[in-house]
Amino acid sequence: MPLSQGAQSDANFGATITGIDLNNLSDQDFEVVRNAIYTHKVVVVKGQAGLIPLKQFEFVHRLDPDAEGVHGFDTKDVTDETIGVLGSRFNTIPGSVGVTIVGQGYQGDDHYGLKGITARSTTHFDAHVDPLTTEDLENRQTRFGAFHFDGVIYGSNPSRVTTLHCVRAPKGPDLTIRWDDGSGQTMTAKPGLTAFIDSAQIYEMLTDEEKITADNSHWAPAPQPYVWSGTRKIRNSGLGMAPGGETVPLDKLPAWVPEKVFKFPMVWVNPVTGARSFQILPDVVQKLYFKSGPDAEERVVEDNDEVRVWLNNILDRICKPKNILIPDYGEGDVVMFNNWEVLHSSIDYPASYGVRTMHQCHIPSSTFPVGPVAV
């Protein structure tokens, strides 16, 4: 069943699934859910209040059985020194293998075996060039945080699918999400939700000439990308980098090796539908490798400003309320998304609305994203 979006968006992706039990998923139902994720990109599975964290992990692993059985951030390349702007957000639920808590606030004396932890996920206050005040937030004004896809990136393939089990949702009146980029654009949403942008739609918005170039081009993140991003900030819309700030020089980063700096296709192909997605992580991209066709010469761009201006020009085409999906989900529901085809962002809410608890799971993919042309 398609997701209801109300009048403010006509994003044509997303679906709702009812009548299944993720704790006891038959092979047939698993295929239905897998196909829904790859076809609709974002899926809300209703009514999973009793979902056992280990079962959530097993579901994500079942989508990629050859993958290592760990959370996407639980790699040896992630240390206190390298975590940078990802922040300290690792609270793995005991016995789950790789389900972590994301959210805000005190999670209770004993949450599934996690004792007395306080969650503090990254907010727009950490990320934006010109954040709101906490008073604005209490007055129900908010922002998207940072649109991204999940993954450590350095030495690790981004997860194919991320799942978020909503265990506790904040409660309070709807919020106004502000772009604050001079456009005057806003959206409203209930608190505690996640916003999505369809990267296949970004691809479709490219000109024919741009599509051929994107199909044949690549991008590379910086080594230790979440440290490298330094003092750079994200635009107030949450999508794309703002001017200014300094990246950390490569020789000042935590130790790194070139073999772990992957060169990703600019366009990733959906393994089920064949859809092409323009998939670049704005805050970590260091180099663009442009090729205007299969036999064209490669042109490398590594000037931060040139990368930023080129990328923002493309991202600006989609960054409008009508293209953004904010699926309605509540306590007990599980949100699943194709991490290779959408960007997502949290939406900050006032602390007075209470605690948010999401059980989150993604794992490093066993395979590299597939581009549209043979390399």
Query: Which residues bind to Fe ion, rule: CB under 5 A?
Result: 150
Q: Report the sign of the C-alpha dihedral through residues 358, 363, 368, 370, in that order.
A: negative
Minimum CB separation of residue 50 from Fe ion in Å reads 24
CA distance 107 to 116: 7
Minimum CB separation of residue 344 from Fe ion in Å reads 6
Between 150 and 198, CB nearer to Fe ion? 150
Nearest to residue 74, comparing CAs of 85, 84, 83, 61? 83
Which amino acid is present at 62? R
3-state SS, residue 59: helix
**Do residues 203 and 41 lie in contact, with contact meaning Cβ atoms separated by under 8 Å?**
no
Helix (H) or strand (E) holding 28: helix 27-40
Minimum CB separation of residue 356 from Fe ion in Å reads 14
Minimum CB separation of residue 150 from Fe ion in Å reads 4
Residue 136 CA, chain-centre distance (Å), reads: 25
Between 150 and 215, CB nearer to Fe ion? 150
Q: Is 305 exposed, middle or buried (0-12, 13-18, 19+ CB in 10 A)?
A: exposed
Minimum CB separation of residue 148 from Fe ion in Å reads 6
CA distance 160 to 166: 20
Query: 184 — alpha (psi -120 to 50), left (phi > 0) or beta?
Result: left
Between 59 and 196, CB nearer to Fe ion? 196
Between 149 and 179, CB nearer to Fe ion? 149
Between 57 and 289, CB nearer to Fe ion? 57
Between 20 and 361, CB nearer to Fe ion? 361
**Which residue lies nearest Fe ion, judged by its C-beta?**
150
Minimum CB separation of residue 121 from Fe ion in Å reads 9
Angle between helices 27-40 and 53-62 (to 10 degrees): 70
Minimum CB separation of residue 155 from Fe ion in Å reads 18
CA distance 289 to 246: 22
Minimum CB separation of residue 164 from Fe ion in Å reads 9
Between 107 and 162, CB nearer to Fe ion? 162
Q: Is 37 exposed, middle or buried (0-12, 13-18, 19+ CB in 10 A)?
A: buried
Task: Please state the φ and ψ torsions of residue 107, each to the nearest 5 degrees.
Answer: -90, 5
Between 275 and 343, CB nearer to Fe ion? 343
